[in-house]
Amino acid sequence: MEKYELTQHIKAYFIDFDRTLVDSVGIERKALIATLKELGVYQSGMEVEHQNSFKEMIKNLNSEYGLSLDFDTVDKVFVRQALPLYETECELKGGAREFWLWAKQSGKRIYIIPLNESQFVQAVLKRYGLEADGIYTRRDTGIHKRDGALFLYAFSDTGYEPSECAVIEDYPHYIISIKDSGCKIIGMFDGQTEDEVNLLYDISDIFIKDFRELIA
């Protein structure tokens, strides 16, 4: 069965942002290094590795380099450093704009479910002349993506049954628990660890590397 046949009855797409809709790992790293420099704690050769939890990144830096960074302080500076980069440098994933326009022309709704700031999402969409039907974040709702809770909340809040929804996500642990809800799971490859790729492949109805693979 063709990939688009699996989603032909989908009415709404709920799409993760970083590493799924956009290539942002480099943006995050650049912004975090600038943040550490502004706070006066950056050390030459410091390794800043991407984590799916920003709090975990700060915790690891504190542990590895003997720092005592306060998350809220780092977060505030990081947002200020990152926003201009999302506005000017952040690129959409392959085929994302084409898929977006196709979905809209086909009467589909598109909602973004980011782990971080909605203003980052808005900055990138504005740059590409795109508009989402809604953005659901942990900060705005108080609901985490862990265990798929934020996705399930978004389904309900938008009035769609899970069977009418498709989730596009790169991190399997955020969606594994909603596999049985009835929604379609579309896994996005983004250089994850081998274990993450294998898990994402196993739980996905569709596994893609480019959004154009979803266009009928």
Q: What is the mean pLDDT of the chain?
A: 91
Give φ, ψ of 9 to 5 degrees: -100, 5
DSSP 121-170: HHHHHHHHT---SEE--HHHHS--SGGGHHHHHHHHHHT--GGGEEEEES
The strand pairing partners of 109, in sequence order, are 12
Determine the pLDDT at residue 1: 46
Determine the pLDDT at residue 190: 83
Determine the pLDDT at residue 165: 96
| Per-residue pLDDT tens over the stretch 190-210 | 877 788 888 999 999 999 999
| Per-residue pLDDT tens over the stretch 76-119 | 999 999 999 999 999 999 999 999 999 999 999 999 999 878 99
Whole-angstrom Cα distance, residue 16 to residue 21? 6
Which SS3 state, helix, strand or coil, does residue 18 take?
strand
Average pLDDT of the residues in 47-64: 84
Which among 15, 146, 145 has a CA at the least distance from the CA of 92? Answer: 15
| Per-residue pLDDT tens over the stretch 3-43 | 656 777 899 999 999 999 999 989 999 999 999 999 999 98
Amino acid in position 204: S
